[in-house]
Amino acid sequence: MTHTLDQDARAILLPAFDNLDFADVMEPFLEKGGRSVLIGETRAEYVARNMSQNRLSTETPEIFRAAVDRLRARCPELIVAVDQELGGIQRLQGLVPAFPDLENAWALSEEVLAERCRQVAAAAREIGVTMFLAPIADVVDGRNPWLHNRTMGTDAETVARLVSAFVKGVQHAGITAVTKHFPGFDDLEADPALFDVSLRTTRDRVLGNALPFRAAIEAGTKAVMTGPAPVADLDAQNAASTSATVIALLRGDFGFKGLVVSDDLDAPATMRDASLLDTAIASLNAGADLLLVGGGPHIDGLSDGIAAAAQTGRLSTERLADAARRVRENAAGR
């Protein structure tokens, strides 16, 4: 099937919403070619690493599923993503069984942990979810307010074992695991969602801490998310999600063949004073396939800008088509 530039430009966007009131924006977006939605959390819930009491008391599996079904009526092959992290943010808190806490996860065998993760993922599939933006594979051995209380340990081998179990378990239930945040951010002085910061860790240390990403790829992770800040020893000018050098490392040295998902392109450490459109074009040109952006009425204009960039040569039409193909294949369960 042949797709237009306008359809491809929408297929590669992953709009994020912090509540279920997204139909007015998402329905026309899907009708024009969109394929993905991130059902996220509020900034307060993100910071607390916990869903609010109001959400827990009002949101039910039936309500969640009904919101997804309304979108799927417009787009049957739809990626429905959530943050569902072992040891971190669990957007489906109260809607599906909980993951074991970290202390228990560390004590479980890989096989038992994988089965526990499969059970959570199977319940998520029942309410329409197809993608977990997890596991977090970063090994934080320094300071990192962005990932505080979200990571799975400070030892690379331990984290690698948990990452492998998570990937195998959730994907066995038909959920795509998006292993994040490549190449790993062990020490950041501030939150890249709020400040323009860079990782100053040496290349050798970054690669040494990247063992969990290798484990995830070996376990078959269908997707990898790149990070939101520059890794200075690899590419000082561009955030990982807009860096051809970083994505070439993922594709080359790490041998990853699947879907590359950007982190939130709205982050100051990713945009670095550029416009959202220019940042999206840079991310696609660098090799990302699915671009995470804040949801809202602006996504129509953003899509039009991406299509126009392909028409004028700022973005390769082949690159855009390849990214859109990868997204559609994931949405179709391939």
The confidence band for 293, taking pLDDT boundaries of 50, 70 and 90, is: very high
Task: Look at residue 334 in the predicted model and tell me its pLDDT.
Answer: 84
Radius of gyration from C-alpha coordinates of the chain: 18
Is residue 146 over pLDDT 90? yes
Q: How far is the C-alpha of 260 from the C-alpha of 226, rounded, in Å?
A: 7
Q: How far is the C-alpha of 189 from the C-alpha of 163, rounded, in Å?
A: 25
Q: What would the pLDDT profile of 29-68 be if each residue is shown by its tens digit?
A: 999 999 999 999 999 999 999 999 999 999 999 999 999 9
Share of the chain above pLDDT 70, in %: 100
Q: Among candidates 210, 180, 187, which has minimal Cα distance to 81?
A: 180
Average confidence (pLDDT) over 155-170: 97
Is residue 268 over pLDDT 80? yes
What is the pTM for the complete model shown?
0.96
Is residue 1 over pLDDT 80? no
- Topology of domain 5-331, CATH: TIM Barrel (3.20.20)
The confidence band for 11, taking pLDDT boundaries of 50, 70 and 90, is: very high
Average confidence (pLDDT) over 166-192: 97
DSSP reduced 3-state for 165:
helix
Q: How far is the C-alpha of 143 from the C-alpha of 147, rounded, in Å?
A: 9
- Rounded to 10 degrees, the C-alpha dihedral 185/243/82/39 comes to 130
Mean pLDDT of the chain: 97
The torsion angles phi and psi of 126, rounded to 5 degrees, stand at -65, -25
Domain ranges of the chain: 5-331
DSSP reduced 3-state for 212:
helix
Q: Is 127 left (phi over 0), alpha (psi -120 to 50) or beta?
A: alpha
Share of the chain above pLDDT 90, in %: 98
